[in-house]
Structure 1
Amino acid sequence: MGAKIKKGDLVEVISGPSQERGGYKGKQGRVIEVLSDTDRVVVEGVNYVTKHARVGQSDRGTREGGIETVEAPIHVSNVAVVDPETKKPTRVGFRVEEVEKDGKKKTVRVRFAKKSGKDLA
């Protein structure tokens, strides 16, 4: 079975508090990492958390540590792939296509963006 959301996809957050209320709903970003074991994705610019790193020294003698903000994972059900044509969130489907490679025909499953509707906007 193919994955509906992959690394590098443009996704939009479809649940949670709106941006006016300090949330990320409606914000779009690229998928940095997919954590398939926990069904979560890390999206660029979404779900920032503050991490406190212990102050230490690197090999060159520079001090590292302090407070840094990083993206935390968000559950895959809270994001939807953005349709490249309409720029709105959409569902993802699979269709079987025949691809010719090195003179041989092969049937493969190809991802495609379904028609983006109002139910996901």
Structure 2
Amino acid sequence: MAKIKKGDLVQVITGAKQERGGDRGKQGKVLDVVDGGNRVVVEGVNYITKHNRIGQTQRGTKTGGIETYEAPIHISNVALVDPETKKPTRVGFRVEEQAKDGVKRMVRVRVAKKSGKDI
């Protein structure tokens, strides 16, 4: 089971501080997990600009220009945010038993190490 998934709230823990134009300390939602689970795209973090060549479609509309979007960052540079304290925390796992339709099965649940709450 992955420690960070799509839709989780994470905080950037490395890089330049925000006063120096960096992203350290920013929190955002994980938009995508890419590259086999090694990189994540976080909302509002690691913006890059891409210059696209100006072209023309069949209808005559112009395409291209400067686009700004979030680039992926390595998963080791972000930490999951504890839902109770709103601060970065490590992730642990707890195995618990769940009963569904009369069938019992063991399920791994992600747990915040600081507060002990389920994520």
Could you say what secondary structure the match of 2:36 adopts? coil
TM-score scaled by structure 1? 0.88
Q: 2:8 & 2:16 partners in 1: Cα distance?
A: 22
For structure 1, list consecutive stretches of 5 or more residues without a partner in the other structure: 117-121
Residue 114 of structure 2 corresponds to residue 115 of structure 1: yes
Match of 1:35 in 2: 34
Could you say what secondary structure the match of 1:37 adopts? helix
Write out aligned runs for 1:43-58 (5 A). 43-58=42-57
Match of 1:69 in 2: 68
Partner AA of 1:82 in structure 2: V
Partner AA of 2:31 in structure 1: I
Match of 2:3 in 1: 4
Partner AA of 2:61 in structure 1: T
Structure 1 residue 36: deviation in Å? Answer: 4.1
CA RMSD of aligned residues (A): 1.5
TM-score scaled by structure 2? 0.90
Show CA shifts across 1:66-107 (max 9, x none): 001110110100000000110000001111010111111100
How many pairs were matched up? 115
Partner AA of 1:46 in structure 2: V
Percent identity at matched positions?
A: 73
